[in-house]
Amino acid sequence: MSRRNHLHDEIRWRAVGMLQTDAKQSAVARELNVHRCVIHRLWNHYQWDQNASRGRGSRRRRITTTADDRYLLQCARLRRTLTARQLASQLPAAAGSSISRQTVPRRLHEGGLFAR
């Protein structure tokens, strides 16, 4: 089996067409050289909303930039006793964008810092 991150739309529609003609999922998977669970998920998705195309751009945008994240990490390393609320209140003064208290631990966790 070949390694792919996703199926192209033309292959997805080809698989749906084969499944609509009562072909077995395992046979379609063998024909397209993908794992059977990929075809299974594709068929379930198609039956749910009659669409085999991949959704694009549906993820939520990040509030902070990479520079903001670096600034938060730097502040947390320099002043280890600051709480998440205090760190969140420092960012608007430095970068001009405000973030919630819950975002701070997420960004610190992504940077490799953890609560003690």
pLDDT of residue 109: 92
pLDDT of residue 56: 65
Q: How far is CA 23 from the centre of its chain?
A: 32
Half-sphere exposure of 84 (CA within 13 A, CB side): 15
pLDDT of residue 14: 92
Number of domains in the chain: 2
pTM for this one?
0.49
Give domain status of residue 57, yes or no: no
Give domain status of residue 89, yes or no: yes
Q: How close are the terminal C-alpha atoms of the chain, in Å?
A: 45
The single-letter code of the amino acid at 58 is: S
| Angle in degrees, CA 8, 30, 39, rounded to 5 | 50
Give domain status of residue 54, yes or no: no
C-alpha span between 74 and 58 (Å, rounded)? 31
C-alpha span between 86 and 88 (Å, rounded)? 5
Residues 6+ apart with CB under 8 A from 108: 72, 73, 76, 114
Q: How far is CA 70 from the centre of its chain?
A: 21
Give domain status of residue 3, yes or no: no
Q: Within this chain, do residues 104 and 71 fall inside the same structural domain, yes or no? A: yes
Give domain status of residue 56, yes or no: no
Give domain status of residue 58, yes or no: no
Domain that holds residue 40: 9-49
Task: Return the CATH number at 28.
Answer: 1.10.10
Give domain status of residue 55, yes or no: no
From first to last of the 116 residues of the chain, give the pLDDT tens digit: 455 667 888 899 999 999 999 999 999 999 999 999 999 999 988 888 788 777 665 667 788 888 889 999 999 999 999 898 998 888 887 777 788 889 999 999 999 988 75
